Structure 1
Amino acid sequence: MASSYKNSIMLKLRPLILCTFLLIINYISAQKKPLDHSVYDAWQSVGSRLMSNDGKWLGYYVDVQEGDGNLYLYSTTQKTQQKFPRASKLFFTSDSKFALFTVKPFYKDIKAVKDKKLKKDKLTKDSLYIVNLSTQKTEKLANIKSYKAPLKGGSFIAYLLENLKDKSSDAAKDDDKEDAKEDDDKNIKPSELVVVNLATGKKQSFQNVVKYQFSENGKQLAFVTQKPEEKKDPKDKDKEKDKPKDKSQPKKYALQSVNLVNLENFGVNKLIEEEGSFAQLTFDQSGTQFALTGTTSAENDLVKDYHLYYFSKNKKAVLNQKSPKMPKDWVISEYQAPNFSKDGKQLYFGVAPKPIAKDTALIVNDHAILDVWSYKDDYLKTIQLKNLNKDLKKSYDAVLQTEKPETLTALSHPKMDSIAIINEGNAPYSLGISNNDSRADFQWTGVEKKTYYLVNNISGEATEFLKNHNGIIYPSPLGKFMVYFNRENGNWYAYDIDKKSTTQLNKGLAVKFTDEEFDMPDYPNAYGLEGFTDKDYSVIIKDRYDLWEFFLDGKTAPKNITNGFGRKNKISFDTYQLDKDIRSFNRTNDMYLFAFNEDNKQSGIFKTKIATSKNPELLQMGDFYGYKNLVKAKNAEVYTYTKETYQQAPNVYISDHFKTENKISDINPQQSQYNWGSTELISWTTPKGYPSKGILYKPEDFDPNKKYPMIVYFYEKLSDGLNRYIAPAPTPSRLNISYFVSNGYLVFAPDISYEDGHPGPSAVEYINSGVEYLKKNSWVNGKKIGIQGQSWGGYQVSYLITQNDLYAAAWAGAPVVNMTSAYGGIRWSSGMNRQFQYEKSQSRIGKTLWEAPELYLENSPLFHLDKVTTPVVIMSNDKDGAVPWYQGIEMFTALRRLDKKVWLLNYNNDDHNLTKRQNKKDIQIREQQFFDYYLKDTKAPVWMTRGIPSTLKGKDWGFELTDEKP
């Protein structure tokens, strides 16, 4: 009886306990503060990760948006880690005994130098850290210009010291280009190079070095020295300034020498010593062959004669414009580095037509400067000008056989754009590629059809095997087959090079291998080729969900290696490339697969074997966004990945065979102080009966008894990002979702599908129906709904506000409002004409302006702006490389003429998506103030009520809130 009585009492108390618990939770949430604009700089993100080959060490970066990040070295065996502030350029030696990285100056010091435009020699130099992973001892070396270590060569390191005696070297460097190769820096000054065998401690220094390079296996080191300039008496310098310069006199390069170091004994072999410039130091994989390019022409020659130098134990060759089989009036290219085939039997390099010298005697003011546009040009003049520098440096491929290095074979030429080497260069032929026949119509199709050739590496003879192909092509690893996808019929093919025969791989299969949801007026793309199996036996190709094995002999029926499990469960599978040295899949080994559930947006990892064709084995799956960036130790079954949710920042995990996992990072602990949010997958049916989905973001302290303003943000389909973490950050012009959710807004991100010819009405069909669906909830304030979109989203914002008065405020970033004028415009970032975008791509009209002018008018907001009642802000920047910024002007001047409430933001010299952080920060404040005024009834800022006259530009930003009305 007592027990029964007790249970009765507990049943009666349970609702009270639950209510009390919810009140406590709500109280705790209520104590959290909303995000503000001061939080951005310190918000963290996980950067790149690198594992030692033995899997015992993981290095990963934790970066901040603005400031100094940290490098962490984590021991997977001892479960401990060390933090190194401001570190970068991490490298583990191939024997896994040492970690190498540089440490930069403080961010505030770097910024001060840039802000004050000081010389960079005022900045502290980088330091090099060498961590002994066995003893945990760290050696710190100051004043490091650069360092290198062999990829597969034990414990060697070489580092170049800063030349502190010559401060001009620092002024010539560009610290913003950390990854730039020393070979590209023509202003580099001679410095001391130190080479160390970290295993033995043996060390050797070389003076006056300007370039250096290890062989991949760590057996050889090449370096170039340069004779320092003789110091001149200041009096002589003054005399030289007064003398007129005679540019007709040749100016010689400094004396340089090219040297090889045998790293077993540090013996030095001098290969070249001449007045010249030598670069692009290249070894073969065995370290027994060496090549470089260089010139001994005068430094002030307008056209220099470059040479290709080849060295091996028994042979030496120098090739130049006079070499046998060099095309007439062609030269060795200075812009393409030599590259040995994997087996070392072939050396690929660049050749080019001899450049035409610029006429230095030409007086500019005496001649017209103009661009002549011609209907016979293969590319539009804007594309030509955009690619001018690249075209002036364009190289064409050539090859020599290292058994007979004196003779070259030119493989490509202006009528054959490029060459792809096959079987890592081991094959006796190359893949020639030409797009000559499709360059003109590229401007309205957006596609360059290509013709493919097999080019004999000895004779140079080219044999065409695929003409005007619209699709992609993949040489098999051993070079036996060419596998290609034809976009126009949606089929996969294999071309047998020996038999000169073609087989359709997916013949007779009902399943599609093209994008089943493609909604543009063009041919759909393939889901993709995942890779080949060993010995060119078969190829792995994706459908929407599953992976298929197609046998290249054409005799064996294809197999679904995931056994239809993906399609049955709406899970799409992708393979991982876990070792870049392994170029094909072993059919009997474990294959790890990234998995994504299309319905519930979960992601995870499965395992299978190609040969079994059984249901893949589930290893991990959950309500996470992650796993896609899986990294494996080269020689151990140790894996690292990141995963995240909207509530949990992405963190680093370590796993052994995925049976257990260990979370080793914990970024953004400060998030617990702030009101965050949650995500919910929303489903509804549009008026025409189409199913759709979207994400609803709610504040963490959401109360269903309150009414919330809502901002609708969209860009095609976003629902796959349900579990993505969105850090509060100054965005390039997208909606700062985390900020608005934290500050009491609902944010809705609906998916949109499109009908050809009607992109505007399609947006109405999906977006507005989703909004109406959510308005049925009592906690949505239907009178306080805003919309925000950027680029294509900005166009849809502009269109939606012409259709009805559903929205109380609108923000359109880089919108197109007049498709008739934008149709013939230029995408300045590429130089391409915009016609392709309307006929074949995102704008989805599907016809030319002359075929269907009514569609261009129907879908252009400009012709319907008289119906607008919604206040709107436009962002349209004068250096926009994608959308002509006059589109924003057309929208602004029309709305202004129609006496509508409209503002235009032009961030000077910024792009389509903002690139300058100060501008990104500025737009966050303006967007918050705009939506707060119209959706929360707060005060309006000065920039909205009075504007900012040009006389106050750069003096007053107009953020002050007033009692005035816009």
Structure 2
Amino acid sequence: MQRFIAVFIFAIFAHVYYGQKKKIDASSYDEWNHIKNEQISDNGTRITFEINPIAGDGALYISSGAGAEVKNIPRGKSAQVSSDGNTIIFKISQPYDTIRALKIKKVKKAKFPKDSAAIWHNGMDTLIRFDKVDSYSIAEEKSSWTAIVFDDNDRFKAVEKKKKKCFLRKKKPAPPKITEQGKATLFLNPETGQRLAIEKADAYAISRLGNKIAYIRNSVISDSLDSASVYLYDTKLDSVVRVFHREGSAKNLFFDEAEKSLGFMASADTGENKNYTLYVFDNKRITQPIQSDWLEEGWGINDAHEPYFSKSGERLFLYTSPLKKDDPKDTIPADEKAQLDVWNYKDGRLQPQQLLSVKRDRNKGYLAVWNREENKFIQIGSATLGFEGFSQMDGNGNFCLGSTQLPYERLMSWEGWFSDYYRISVATGEQKLLAKKVQYRPYFSPEGMWFAYFSQADTTWHAVNCETLEDKSITAGIKARFDNEDDDHPMAPNPYGIAGWTKDGDIIVYDKFNAWRINLKNEFPPQNLTRTRSSGWEYRYWKQDPEEHYIDLKDVTFWEGFNHTTKAIAIAELGRQSIRNIYRADAQMNTLIKAKHSDKVIFRTQRFETYPDLKVTTTAFAEVTPISEANPQQGDYNWGTVELISWKSFKGLQLEGLLYKPENFDSEKKYPLMVYFYEKNSHNLHRHFAPRPTASIIYPSEYTSNGYLVFIPDIKYIDGHPAKSAYDCIVSGTDFLTKKFSWVDSSKMALQGQSWGGYQTAMLITMTNKYKCAMAGAPVSNMTSAYGGIRWGSGLSRMFQYEQTQTRLGGNLWDSLNVYIENSPIFYVPKIETPILIMHNDNDGAVPWYQGIEYFVSLRRLNKPAWLLNYNGDQHNLRKKANMRDLSIRMRQFFDHYLLDKPQP
């Protein structure tokens, strides 16, 4: 009896407690914060991150790690941290309310007050502040030197002294008027107090260690003659030297790693299109290393791409291209000129693609290299073959890699992306074809000895010896699949990729679960390094240093793990014998960053119930310490829970899905069910959905907070029948729930999807009437008309989507017309009885918005209940915050009306 009373009292208390918790709605969004721009200094002593609300003022946080005080700087953002962690420079934005008030008054953005910047330095009690700042930067390594560029150009302007007039003295001619270009710039070392103020600088560069700073001052003399000067500031000697002064203009400063050489470009041309010369200042002398007769006729140095030295400093890489010519003088009035685009069936790229890439095409450059010791110039990139080229091993490798898509540009419209790859000798420029029609990303070994690519023909990895050009399959004898075994598209599955290379010339490739070490010289058989398929663990190499070239298997290496059964994550150590988890969590990894020169690690993990706050640990993961709490208010809200469920589809497919329930769930009640879907989502079991305005989809946290169940099923597709596949998986999943759980209200279920999910929503309501209402965002409604459409955001034809990728029809319109009709909602509108809300925006760059219009006007013609939202000028997924907030409200009103019996909005 006493136990019954205790349970009864607890039940009453729980009901009262959850009844007091708030529900998430549009008024709640601004309470939620998000963490961004988290980073750790190279030596691991300083951590910075931002916590920002959706609307309002955020803050920058500075921490020294576990247990240390966290400094809060209101409105701080975009921090840059010195490698030793002693200096941090950041922006301080204007107050949110100030800017909002100006927007209400319709003040132009150019007249808004400028942001400030501040420097935090270890040991200083106060910040060093600067107002009206345009940009800033800090030295890359072992230095606190910073550069600040200001918006007010008169900050360091010299004040001229007024001279007394003498009427007896003959009047001298006025000196030429000199107009400096650029912006006021300050170079400052907060550690030493050393500073150099420049009245106006056009550009600057800080050397890697901060021992040298270069800057350019371009000016116009008497409104006609351009003048360019390049200065070098030695921060150790605190001295400035002008190293270059000529008529014209200069740009693109760059240093070598050793800080011994400074490079830049200059041109004496005054036209819009200038012919630049490359200069190198080295040991107190300036040279022009690239001779004009070394370049192809009509070619010059491309100024749109910044040159760079190899890490050793022995090579200088630059880009060349055909010289641009100024447009001829216009002799015809604008109204007498025809304006048109000519679409040619022989063109590799369609006109929309060409128009979108005009700027990139005009600025395209082709890699070249100057070998300093031999004073030899080698052209690497090729306009004829159509590749730009890129270097290896920080420019120290023997070969460069070139690729071209020119032979396959037309195929992009319906088959896919392919490239031919070439090996180019840095010493001689010799080009050798390595592989043709490669579809997926290939890999070039760091020293340039091996080229690895995945062959669609035999579904194995191949390696090409760049010296002998021998091409051989390296995974044919391994009993494992190296292409995606779960892929269900008509096109050939993509490979899982590679982890990297060892110094011994081995390559490490992935299957679904494991990593395989393959010796390319056949000195030993392939080795399965992880051996975890049976346990469901997938491991991928954790590259802790972005500049790392080789994986050292002689030492302990670290790997990221994901369990396909439980959806847990792990960090693991791989030793000589086996791999073992040193950290495991039923969570999803957000951020994982190791300090470059320290064992300190910052990371973020999320669960549906837990926001991904920032944590600090070491590579041993022995102790994990949270250093942020972004959303303590979440505890005041009714949230939810999530569980992984499994069932068999009508066709017997084993499926998984996610079921979300309210935090105050009561199994004695009936709950409406929201069904959201895209393709596969079960791996996102632990994804956290912070309340915020939506770009297109429902967020489970908001809907569970308001008394809904949310179901997200996985979908497995059969080529040619995406609609039937969606029905088989989605409807079988909802049937499973309604039969197994009495608390699912089968009379109040709804569908929601965006893009591909929007199409499936639009199609499903032609196949079943069991859903009370539906919302489809950016749906394709007519496969026959969409097939010939354009993805206006990229200019690509949509054909490849239907024949090869997401739509999975597997054939062209003429050979597979019945398939296109079978999967088009437009032809089955008479069967629809479900009220539907559609969103399709007129600036959609992915799905042409006339697809939504076709669907809506068909529904309207047959008097079906339908509403179409077009957010003027917005995109496929909404970008404008006001529109996102509006959509969030309208979707909730729509579903609340049909599923919660609230009044029609």
Fold in common (TM above 0.5)? yes
User: Aligned letter for 2:495?
Assistant: A
Q: Is the 8 A contact 1:654 1:663 kept in 2?
A: yes
Larger deviation: 866-875 or 544-553? 544-553
Provide Cα deviations, 1:763-810, integer angstroms capped at 9, x if missing partner. Answer: 000000000111122111111111000000010001100012111101
Q: Is the 8 A contact 2:154 2:184 kept in 1?
A: no
State the Cα distance separating 1:908 from its structure 2 match. Answer: 0.9
Matching of residue 509 in structure 1 with residue 475 in structure 2:
no
Of 213, 224, 236, 1:221 maps to 213
State the Cα distance separating 1:264 from its structure 2 match. Answer: 1.0
- Whole-Å Cα distance in 2 between the matches of residues 682 and 145 of structure 1? 52
Of 780, 783, 800, 1:816 maps to 780
Unaligned ranges ≥5, structure 1: 1-11, 168-186, 231-250, 942-966
Of 173, 176, 200, 1:208 maps to 200
Matching of residue 337 in structure 1 with residue 321 in structure 2:
no
State the Cα distance separating 1:877 from its structure 2 match. Answer: 0.9
Provide Cα deviations, 1:238-294, integer angstroms capped at 9, x if missing partner. Answer: xxxxxxxxxxxxx74643311111121122221222342222111111111221223
Q: Is the 8 A contact 1:113 1:122 kept in 2?
A: no
Of 728, 731, 754, 1:790 maps to 754
- Whole-Å Cα distance in 1 between the matches of residues 426 and 317 of structure 2? 10
- Whole-Å Cα distance in 2 between the matches of residues 84 and 778 of structure 1? 52
Q: Secondary structure at the match of 1:585?
A: coil
Q: Within 5 Å, give how 1:564-963 maps onto structure 2.
A: 564-565=531-532, 567-609=533-575, 612-614=576-578, 616-626=579-589, 629-656=591-618, 657-776=620-739, 777-941=741-905
- Whole-Å Cα distance in 1 between the matches of residues 88 and 74 of structure 2? 15
Q: Within 5 Å, give how 1:111-126 maps onto structure 2.
A: 111-114=100-103, 116-119=105-108, 122-126=111-115
- Whole-Å Cα distance in 2 between the matches of residues 646 and 210 of structure 1? 49
Larger deviation: 885-894 or 202-211? 202-211
Of 412, 421, 425, 2:395 maps to 425
Matched residue, 1:295: 267
- Whole-Å Cα distance in 2 between the matches of residues 166 and 360 of structure 1? 40
Residues 116 and 279 (structure 1 numbering): CA distance in 2 closer, same or farther, change over 3 Å? farther
Q: Within 5 Å, give how 1:130-529 maps onto structure 2.
A: 130-134=119-123, 137-163=126-152, 165=154, 189-227=181-219, 252=224, 254-298=226-270, 301-313=271-283, 316-318=286-288, 323-361=292-330, 362-403=332-373, 407=377, 409=379, 411-447=381-417, 449-529=418-498
Q: Is the 8 A contact 1:409 1:459 kept in 2?
A: no
- Whole-Å Cα distance in 2 between the matches of residues 215 and 775 of structure 1? 66
Matched residue, 1:559: 527
Matched residue, 1:28: 17
Q: Is the 8 A contact 1:603 1:621 kept in 2?
A: yes
Q: Is the 8 A contact 1:337 1:349 kept in 2?
A: yes
Larger deviation: 500-509 or 752-761? 500-509
Matching of residue 97 in structure 1 with residue 81 in structure 2:
no
Of 106, 118, 121, 1:129 maps to 118
Residues 408 and 507 (structure 1 numbering): CA distance in 2 closer, same or farther, change over 3 Å? closer
- Whole-Å Cα distance in 2 between the matches of residues 880 and 568 of structure 1? 45
Q: Is the 8 A contact 1:318 1:406 kept in 2?
A: no
Count how many residue pairs are aligned between Structure 1 and Structure 2: 880
Matching of residue 110 in structure 1 with residue 99 in structure 2:
yes
Q: Secondary structure at the match of 1:509?
A: coil
TM-score (norm 1): 0.88
State the Cα distance separating 1:490 from its structure 2 match. Answer: 2.0
State the Cα distance separating 1:163 from its structure 2 match. Answer: 2.0
Q: Secondary structure at the match of 1:892?
A: helix
Q: Secondary structure at the match of 2:808?
A: coil
- Whole-Å Cα distance in 1 between the matches of residues 238 and 71 of structure 2? 34
Provide Cα deviations, 1:438-496, integer angstroms capped at 9, x if missing partner. Answer: 1111100122x211112233443312121222222111112221122223432112222
- Whole-Å Cα distance in 2 between the matches of residues 559 and 900 of structure 1? 62
Larger deviation: 833-842 or 467-476? 467-476
Q: Is the 8 A contact 2:646 2:656 kept in 1?
A: yes
Matching of residue 530 in structure 1 with residue 499 in structure 2:
yes
User: Aligned letter for 1:645?
Assistant: R
TM-score (norm 2): 0.94
Q: Percent identity?
A: 35
Matched residue, 2:176: none
State the Cα distance separating 1:735 from its structure 2 match. Answer: 1.4
- Whole-Å Cα distance in 2 between the matches of residues 513 and 18 of structure 1? 55
State the Cα distance separating 1:189 from its structure 2 match. Answer: 5.0
Matched residue, 2:173: none
Residues 368 and 803 (structure 1 numbering): CA distance in 2 closer, same or farther, change over 3 Å? same
Q: Is the 8 A contact 1:546 1:572 kept in 2?
A: yes
State the Cα distance separating 1:16 from its structure 2 match. Answer: 3.8
State the Cα distance separating 1:572 from its structure 2 match. Answer: 1.1
- Whole-Å Cα distance in 2 between the matches of residues 818 and 212 of structure 1? 54
Residues 19 and 680 (structure 1 numbering): CA distance in 2 closer, same or farther, change over 3 Å? farther
User: Aligned letter for 1:730?
Assistant: P
- Whole-Å Cα distance in 1 between the matches of residues 836 and 520 of structure 2? 58
Matching of residue 539 in structure 1 with residue 507 in structure 2:
yes
- Whole-Å Cα distance in 1 between the matches of residues 737 and 180 of structure 2? 62
Q: Is the 8 A contact 2:400 2:448 kept in 1?
A: no
Matched residue, 2:175: none
- Whole-Å Cα distance in 2 between the matches of residues 404 and 252 of structure 1? 41
Matched residue, 1:182: none
Provide Cα deviations, 1:647-694, integer angstroms capped at 9, x if missing partner. Answer: 111111111321111111111111111111111111111111111111
Provide Cα deviations, 1:568-597, integer angstroms capped at 9, x if missing partner. Answer: 111111222222232222212222221111
Q: CA RMSD in A?
A: 2.2
Q: Secondary structure at the match of 1:379?
A: coil
Larger deviation: 111-120 or 477-486? 111-120
- Whole-Å Cα distance in 2 between the matches of residues 902 and 297 of structure 1? 62
Q: Is the 8 A contact 2:367 2:390 kept in 1?
A: no
State the Cα distance separating 1:421 from its structure 2 match. Answer: 0.9
State the Cα distance separating 1:513 from its structure 2 match. Answer: 1.0
Residues 188 and 851 (structure 1 numbering): CA distance in 2 closer, same or farther, change over 3 Å? farther
Q: Secondary structure at the match of 1:471?
A: coil
Provide Cα deviations, 1:124-147, integer angstroms capped at 9, x if missing partner. Answer: 433332223245553333333322
State the Cα distance separating 1:827 from its structure 2 match. Answer: 0.5
